[in-house]
Chains A and B, each alone.
Chain A
Amino acid sequence: MGKEIKVFVDESVILPSNFISKYDIGIIPIRIMSSEGDEWSYKEREEIVEGLKKGFVFRTSLPSPSMVIKILERERDKKIISFHVSSEMSGIANVMKAVGRRFENLIIVDTRTAGPASGMAVLAGLKVLSEGKDIDTLIETSLAVGRDSLTYMAVPEALRLAKIRPIEGLKKFIQDPSLFIKFLRSPFGFPIVTILDGKLKIYNFSRSFEDACLKMIEGILNYISKRKGNVYLFLFYSQKDENTERFKDMVLKKIDFFKFYEGEVGRVPLCAIGFNAFGITVYKGNIELV
């Protein structure tokens, strides 16, 4: 009989609520430091929220390989499968690769995409595990779902995000005076970013919340119309509030789906996208997710 399997994800991976406890998923933590020059630490979510309110910029830093080994040590007798956001976007998959030099039974899945789509890749991986299939199938399946998932995200604080992740097309807004004024003067503006193949790109700009929701839904429907299979939707947000509930209602009314998930982002994505960000990731295809 094979070894028991334990799944880990790094903190940049966005998963639906309760999935961490439901599937007993381990977390590889990432250190966070604020623009106020404090020390690197594993700040609590509340502390980050307070900092964001004050306009702090948070930076993240990779854990050292040894620190990760200390975390994995508790599961030494198990086979570990660790899912990570794209190595093109974060060094965490590389840290895990270094860990793999001194820790047997570690399988690393570089999902080659960003937070919410990485989450979809994990859901596909969990399904494969529940069916008792082999590791190669798990990796192949997870990568396929990560690759084919599409994300739309409304990010009122797009400039905050741009300090941490390159966003293609944002420069046009910043360099064109008329667009930048619009950008700055629109407190209710919602730059919409797409994430595909692990790359962030400006998709559109909406002045109103409703318009942002409609544009994202339109993008999702367009994607769905071009593919075959079951539709899996994952709605995610910085914090659950009236707006995200309104967005959820609109999504549920306008999009036919096979499964719907939702969840609040963790500490690390929160630092990147700031307050009031929300988005939706879709996968349509023949691969099953848990």
Chain B
Amino acid sequence: MREIYLKAFKRGLLYLENKKNWLNEINFFPVADKDTGDNLVRTIKEAIKIVESKKEEKNFFEDIADALFETATGSSGLIFSLFFDGFKKGMDSFYFTSNNLKCGFKMGRKSAYEGIYNPKEGTILTVIKKMNDKIQNMDGDVVYILEKAIEEGEIVCKETKEMLPELKENSVPDAGAVGFLIFWQGFFDEIKDNFYEVIAIVKDMKSDMKEFISFLKDFGESIVVNKRDKMVKIHIHTFLPEEIKKIILHRGEVLRIDINKVFSA
């Protein structure tokens, strides 16, 4: 997963780089210092460099949070860093699940709000809060929930135009809020591209079904296992299709296995 997370962070950065100048232009709050795009790009870019140069790898999100703490630039960069300082606490398992996302966002929101004196609504904090609210109230696999959270983020970013006088006057959304959303759009697109559906039909399964399903939960979501006579049909959404394939091959005679991207290009 580490490689996918890293690629997702890089994609988030790429999306931000593409919108950097526009983000600078719409930066009117708290003062029009026109550097939100620069600050977010610098914060994330330098953090990725640090993570890539690490020889000892621990949990990716712990590494990236530590690096962001080191590279945080400007207020938006600082809040981004504070968010991931909390987010990492929810990302304590090997795999990326909806539960991780829920816990990560909940902790990220808490960390960002608690880390700031006089938190202001209509800013990056608001998009964090609203995306988190959406995530906490959704069911489904991690990619589906994240997609819905991003849709919510888009609505909230537009609403920020009306939330602060400085933004209303210039008819722009908050640059930090939009920057945070853009990052997650990039992160999501990368995650989505690596999300697979595995369907397998196995004969003579050697495992206990309950134990098998419980084992699969460490590698994916949307798990459906149907047993009929000696045949078992397995359905799972996963970022790790090859691992799933290996697991299934060890459990019985595989009659058929299909691996397809959940979202086709």
**What is A's interface to B at a CB cutoff of 8 Å?**
40, 59, 61-62, 64-67, 87-89, 91, 93-95, 97-98, 101-102, 110, 163-166
Give which listed residue, B39, B74, B115, B166, contacts A98 with CB less than 8 A: B115
A91 lies within 8 A of B75 (CB): yes
B185 lies within 8 A of chain A by Cβ: no
Interface residues of B in 106-152 (CB under 8 A from A): 115-118
A101 lies within 8 A of B118 (CB): no
B33 lies within 8 A of chain A by Cβ: yes
- When chains A and B are docked, how far (Å) is the Cα of A258 from the Cα of B1? 67
B73 lies within 8 A of A64 (CB): yes
A94 lies within 8 A of B33 (CB): no
CB-CB under 8 A from B85, the residues of chain A are 98, 101
B115 lies within 8 A of A101 (CB): yes
Closest partner residue, chain A, to B169 (CB atom): A171
- When chains A and B are docked, how far (Å) is the Cα of A87 from the Cα of B75? 11
A66 lies within 8 A of B115 (CB): no
- 12 A–B contact pairs at CB < 8 A? A61-B73, A61-B74, A62-B75, A65-B72, A66-B71, A88-B30, A91-B75, A94-B116, A94-B117, A98-B82, A164-B31, A166-B31
B35 lies within 8 A of chain A by Cβ: yes
- When chains A and B are docked, how far (Å) is the Cα of A88 from the Cα of B117? 8
Contact flags B76-108 to A (C-beta < 8 A → 1, else 0)? 011001100100000000000000000000000
A64 lies within 8 A of B71 (CB): yes
**What is B's interface to A at a CB cutoff of 8 Å?**
30-33, 35, 39, 69-75, 77-78, 81-82, 85, 115-118, 166
Closest partner residue, chain B, to A102 (CB atom): B69
A97 lies within 8 A of B117 (CB): yes
Given contacts A61-B35, A165-B31, is CB(A98)–CB(B117) below 8 Å? no
B78 lies within 8 A of A91 (CB): yes
A238 to chain B, nearest CB (A): 20
Given contacts A65-B78, A164-B31, is CB(A98)–CB(B72) below 8 Å? yes
B117 to chain A, nearest CB (A): 4
CB-CB under 8 A from B81, the residues of chain A are 64-65, 98
Closest partner residue, chain B, to A60 (CB atom): B33
A132 to chain B, nearest CB (A): 28
Given contacts A61-B35, A101-B85, is CB(A93)–CB(B117) below 8 Å? yes
